[in-house]
């Protein structure tokens, strides 16, 4: 099948859906998404969206907090753009029907935004987290996916996995251009071509390259890997954010315990019930995530078990503020209103990604990247809590402003097709699922052991050697067996893992989320982005 559209969106988290609704004002939009429309990292976002609404707050303070969290690598212009445009994007969400929590007794009920109930999270000097209980992402996905699904100019292709961009380098002085994507319909196993004037990659993150993650299984870094394969520059993949507080069951499946719990007074305690964060930061439990995750890691290494305690608060308040967390914890055998709950850090958010400018444009023509797959410069070496949904919204808007102008100049007939034949595997067998699982598990374990919260030169060199071997095996499976979602995802996991490991090995200092025990300090002569391009690795 070959289809043609004005705007093609890959991914259906908040970035993709918000962008699609905007793009549909100017033309036809197709969204391809790996599973069901709501399946995304956004769906699991609990905390909320950081933005300046409190009269005691200011753009300057939010920009300052963002830059401080970013440990020297945040781009001030990106931070200014995102912070200053935040309130407008949140008002837009409200006008689309998204319901955020409001204060029970607001004095200014005519002005919806001033009655927003604002939460606090680590690294924020003011209350500024706009939220929908502890299910902000769920609310966003529910409202936006409904609007998208009923929009007459938007077509949604669920269970479609993007495999590669359709590119050519014939125009514009050798600059690569994007004409759409080749995708796998994972139900029929048909390989399809989606041609488009503008392609917007909003394919999310890559937490699932680690065995312990707050992300759903689908977060396999497909988008970043695809961008890299097509020749786009990617940056800062060593900055994987580990969320300090997840609850993992005996199978290793983890569930996020929102930072908002600490924002409401929750305290981290060791096995003896003693708070310990004062040993690591004057901000204690509300220090930035890199600090809290490393502190927990260090306590765990000393043989402690770590607990998050909010049981001293009014149980009615806890149940009302965190209904979903309360329920999930009960399912896992813990009543958070009565007892401290066990927590561990787990992979949560990729701060690096495909490099974009202020409009979401990459160095491939007509290819935009927004959301977690992008590296806009906002997060630097460590993302400030709840800045991710904000960044996704602001860049979806900026990308739309730029892309609609660009699309007007393109004639649909001028787009080049790719040879679908390179994906045809008519007479080939499917890979054994046990073989795919073996390679996947080996990759995840290697990533956890060598590119986890604390790294070392020797470990990264060893890890890179192992990952390269596994990546070769994954590539061979993809190239020589019938294509299905298992081999396609394995290819992404292997490629993105090699890129994360390579980037981590390149940074010979400790900064933000990247901690190398052989170089435990920041080295400002190395204060720059780690950039990978296909030709250089
Ligand atoms: C959380 O609720 O702790 C996650 C929010 C975020 O990742 O910014």
C-alpha 259 – ligand 1 centre gap (Å): 6
424 pLDDT exceeds 80? no
Q: Among the options 89, 289, 383, 425, which is catalytic?
A: 289
pLDDT confidence of residue 411 = 78
Q: What does pLDDT average to over the chain?
A: 93
pLDDT confidence of residue 535 = 74
Residue 220 near residue 29, CB atoms below 8 Å: no
The residue to mutate among 256, 257, 351, having the most atoms of ligand 1 within 8 angstroms of its beta carbon, is 256
C-alpha 182 – ligand 1 centre gap (Å): 33
C-alpha 408 – ligand 1 centre gap (Å): 38
C-alpha 271 – ligand 1 centre gap (Å): 25
Spatial separation of the C-alpha atoms in residues 364 and 37, rounded to whole Å: 27
Which of the residue ranges 78-87, 109-118, 346-355 would you say has the lowest mean pLDDT?
109-118
Spatial separation of the C-alpha atoms in residues 198 and 32, rounded to whole Å: 14
pLDDT confidence of residue 2 = 75
The residue to mutate among 43, 44, 46, 288, having the most atoms of ligand 1 within 8 angstroms of its beta carbon, is 46
Whole-Å CA distances, 404 to 14, 69, 273: 19, 34, 56
Counting atoms of ligand 1 from 1, which one is nearest the CA of 348? 7
Q: Mark whether 289 is an active-site residue.
A: yes
Give the tokens for residue 326.
Answer: 């309360």
**In 3-state terms, what secondary structure has residue 429?**
coil
Spatial separation of the C-alpha atoms in residues 412 and 2, rounded to whole Å: 13
Query: Ligand 1, atom 4: nearest CA belongs to which residue?
Result: 47
Identify the H or E element spanning 201. Answer: strand 191-201
Give the tokens for residue 100.
Answer: 């955020």
Counting atoms of ligand 1 from 1, which one is nearest the CA of 134? 2
Which of the residue ranges 96-105, 129-138, 407-416 would you say has the lowest mean pLDDT?
407-416
Count CB neighbours of 418 within 10 A: 18
Spatial separation of the C-alpha atoms in residues 253 and 291, rounded to whole Å: 23
DSSP character string of 107-122 = S-TTSGGGGB-EE--T
**Confidence band, pLDDT 50/70/90 cuts, at residue 171:** low
Q: Can you list the alpha helix ranges (DSSP code H) found in 368-420?
A: 388-408
Helices (H) and strands (E) in the chain, counts: 13, 20
421-526 maps to CATH 1.20.58.100: yes
Per residue in 232-276, pLDDT tens? Answer: 999 999 999 999 999 998 888 899 999 999 999 999 999 999 999
419 pLDDT exceeds 70? no
Strand duo 344-350 + 240-248: pairing: antiparallel
Backbone angles phi, psi at 340, to 5 degrees: -65, 150
| Average pLDDT for 480-494 | 95
Counting atoms of ligand 1 from 1, which one is nearest the CA of 385? 8
Spatial separation of the C-alpha atoms in residues 497 and 425, rounded to whole Å: 26
Domain limits, the chain: 243-346, 421-526
C-alpha 423 – ligand 1 centre gap (Å): 38
Q: What is the CATH number of domain 243-346?
A: 3.90.700.10
The residue to mutate among 204, 260, 264, 322, having the most atoms of ligand 1 within 8 angstroms of its beta carbon, is 260
Give the tokens for residue 118.
Answer: 């604002």
C-alpha 403 – ligand 1 centre gap (Å): 30
pTM of the complete model: 0.94
Counting atoms of ligand 1 from 1, which one is nearest the CA of 245? 3
Provide the percentage of residues in the chain whose pLDDT is more than 90: 85
Q: What is the DSSP letter of 214?
A: S
**In 3-state terms, what secondary structure has residue 236?**
coil
Nearest 5°: CA angle at 177, between 175 and 182?
145
Query: Ligand 1, atom 8: nearest CA belongs to which residue?
Result: 386
Spatial separation of the C-alpha atoms in residues 329 and 336, rounded to whole Å: 7
Count CB neighbours of 114 within 10 A: 15
The answer to whether domain 243-346 and domain 421-526 are alike in fold is no
Residues with CB under 6 A from ligand 1: 45-47, 258-260, 349, 385-386, 388
Answer positive or negative: Cα dihedral of 215, 217, 220, 223: negative
Give the tokens for residue 296.
Answer: 């927990």
Spatial separation of the C-alpha atoms in residues 37 and 140, rounded to whole Å: 12
């Amino acid at each position: 099948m070959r289809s043609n559209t004005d705007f093609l969106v890959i991914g259906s988290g908040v970035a993709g859906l918000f962008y699609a609704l905007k793009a549909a004002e100017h033309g036809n939009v197709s969204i391809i998404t790996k599973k069901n429309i709501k399946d995304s990292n956004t769906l699991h976002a609990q905390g909320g969206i950081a933005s300046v609404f409190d009269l005691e707050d200011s753009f300057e303070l939010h920009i300052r907090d963002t830059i401080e969290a970013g440990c020297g690598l945040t781009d001030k212009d990106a931070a200014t753009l995102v912070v200053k445009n935040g309130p407008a994007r949140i008002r837009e969400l409200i006008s689309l029907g998204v319901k955020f929590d409001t204060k029970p007794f607001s004095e200014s009920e005519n002005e919806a935004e001033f009655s927003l109930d604002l939460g606090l999270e680590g690294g924020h000097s003011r209350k500024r987290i706009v939220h929908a209980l502890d299910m902000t992402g769920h609310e966003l996905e529910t409202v936006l996916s409904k609007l998208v699904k009923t929009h007459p100019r938007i077509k949604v292709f669920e269970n479609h996995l993007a495999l590669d961009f359709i590119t050519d380098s014939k125009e514009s002085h050798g600059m690569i251009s994007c004409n759409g994507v080749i995708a796998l319909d994972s139900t029929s196993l048909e390989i399809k071509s989606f041609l488009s004037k503008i392609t917007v990659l909003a394919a999310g993150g890559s937490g699932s390259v680690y065995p312990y993650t707050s992300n759903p299984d689908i977060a396999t870094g497909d988008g970043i890997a695809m961008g890299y394969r097509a020749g786009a520059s990617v940056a800062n993949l060593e900055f994987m954010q580990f969320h300090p507080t997840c609850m993992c069951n005996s199978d290793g499946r983890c569930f996020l315990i929102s930072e908002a719990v600490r924002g409401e007074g929750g305290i981290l305690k060791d096995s003896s019930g003693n708070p310990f964060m004062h040993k690591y930061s004057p901000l204690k439990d509300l220090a930035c995530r890199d600090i809290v995750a490393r502190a927990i890691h260090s306590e765990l290494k000393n043989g402690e078990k770590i607990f998050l305690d909010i049981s001293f608060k009014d149980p009615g308040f806890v149940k009302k503020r965190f209904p979903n967390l309360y329920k999930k914890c009960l399912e896992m055998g813990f009543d958070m209103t009565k007892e401290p709950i066990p927590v561990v850090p787990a992979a949560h958010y990729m701060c690096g990604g495909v490099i974009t400018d202020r409009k979401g444009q990459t160095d491939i023509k007509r290819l935009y990247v927004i959301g977690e797959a992008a590296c806009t410069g906002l997060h630097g070496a460590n993302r400030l809590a709840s800045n991710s949904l904000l960044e996704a919204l602001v860049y979806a808007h900026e990308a739309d402003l730029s892309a609609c102008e660009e699309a007007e100049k393109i004639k649909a007939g001028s787009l080049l097709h790719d040879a679908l034949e390179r994906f045809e595997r008519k007479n080939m067998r499917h890979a054994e699922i046990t073989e795919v699982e073996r390679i996947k598990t080996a990759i995840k374990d290697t990533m956890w052991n060598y590119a986890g919260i604390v790294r070392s030169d020797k470990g990264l060199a060893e890890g890179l050697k192992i990952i390269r071997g596994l990546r070769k095996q994954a590539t061979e499976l993809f190239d020589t067996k019938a294509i299905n979602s298992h081999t396609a995802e394995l290819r992404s996991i292997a490629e993105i893992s090699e890129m994360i490991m390579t980037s981590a090995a390149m940074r010979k200092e400790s900064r933000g989320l990247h901690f190398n025990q052989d170089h435990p300090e920041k080295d400002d002569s190395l204060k720059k982005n780690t950039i990978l391009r296909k030709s250089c690795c």
